[in-house]
Amino acid sequence: MALSCNNTLFPKPFFTSCSSQTQGTHFSNLPQPTKQDTIFKIKGPSTLSGHITISGSKNASLPLLAATLCCSGTSLLHNLPNVSDIQAMASILSSLGAKVDAFDGKMMVNSDGVGKVEVDLEEMKKIRGGFFVIGPLVARFGEAVVALPGGCNIGKRPVDLHLRGLRALGAVVELRQLVLQCYRDGKVWARAANGRGLVGGKFRLDYPSVGATETLMMAASMADGTTMLSNVAKVMEPEVVDLARFLTDCGAWIEGAGSDNLIIRGKRQLYGSECVIKPDRIETGTFMLAAAITRSCILMSPVIPSRVSCLIDKLSQAGCKISRLDQQTLQVSAHPSHIGYDLKSFDIKTNPFPGFPTDLQPQTMALLTTCTGSSLVEESVFDNRMTH
């Protein structure tokens, strides 16, 4: 049964992406970003009921797609979410010369035919995740020309850690501004200083950035020698876990799981592998919060409860009833007949995993406006995340 919303009108894409009756997500064989509706018309008050199928993680999918550039042969990724960011990343890979085939929620990528190392500027403006390709391109092909990332404007998201880390691995990196007044219109030129490829090195991140950790992990996996990265986003960070596992399956040597330090012994060649994208923890959390906001009871699967444990704790503190029906299914209820009283306020402070996710902060603030009492919301990850 699909998730239903009484007395509420959603655009057609909502039903397409959320229906639990669909066995797999469908992509076009020629992945192109599709125009999405920009207006939602909602009539309430309303309640939710039924079951929602959680998509694969978008934040895990983007670096995994970029990592296919490290590999000889074909890689196959399962359970990719049908969202415009994934289609844009597929377009970036195709524009570089990779062969990309998409079908039934799967994507097959063969990068043996890559003949370009410069990413189209307009493609890069669409998603921030496109910047991930800089590491694999320099590591495997010795050079990359990548525009500064676009994407959502939620605050300062510099790429200086990515660039300094690449320099520590033997890359010459030059940042050129195409329009001096607009930082986002710059381009990054990176090439191996020795003319062949990257070399092992040491680098300490000023901040445990997930994106920088992933970029440098991919680059170091093909560098000549051993790389030591410290103060990285812990390998317990879900998206970092998924990328490390994929690279290892492709032949990389990565040590340091669960710590702040990574030791990576570069391999001259990696080979395509197969990977199943884990459920999206942000989508899971969003529907959990939707159930709480509308005082409803819904089921959702597949879910990895440990990846949303911080939200489970907060919603339970507020008074929601959250039950694990099996290994992958959660029932979330804030229905008055189940909880017997109204939801109570609670405080949150966003932090890297396993702290409270910054991507769930706006939805949580919406919930808190409906709870009894005062709440304190502290954003410590993105300085512009409060614009909502």
Catalytically annotated residues: 152
How, if at all, do strands 74-78 and 106-110 pair? antiparallel
For residue 159, give Cα distances in angstroms to 292, 364, 368. 36, 28, 33
Q: How many alpha carbons fall within 13 Å on the CB side of residue 248?
A: 13
CA 119, CA 93: separation in Å to the nearest integer?
9
Which residue, 270, 267, 302, is CA-closest to 284?
302
Q: How many alpha carbons fall within 13 Å on the CB side of residue 261?
A: 5
CA 78, CA 276: separation in Å to the nearest integer?
5
The neighbour count for residue 194, using CB atoms within 10 Å, is 13
Residues 6+ apart with CB under 8 A from 288: 300, 308, 311, 312, 315, 322, 330, 332
Q: How many alpha carbons fall within 13 Å on the CB side of residue 146?
A: 28
Helix (H, G, I), strand (E, B) or coil at 170: coil
Q: Please, what is the angle between helix 84-96 and helix 58-67, to 10°?
A: 10
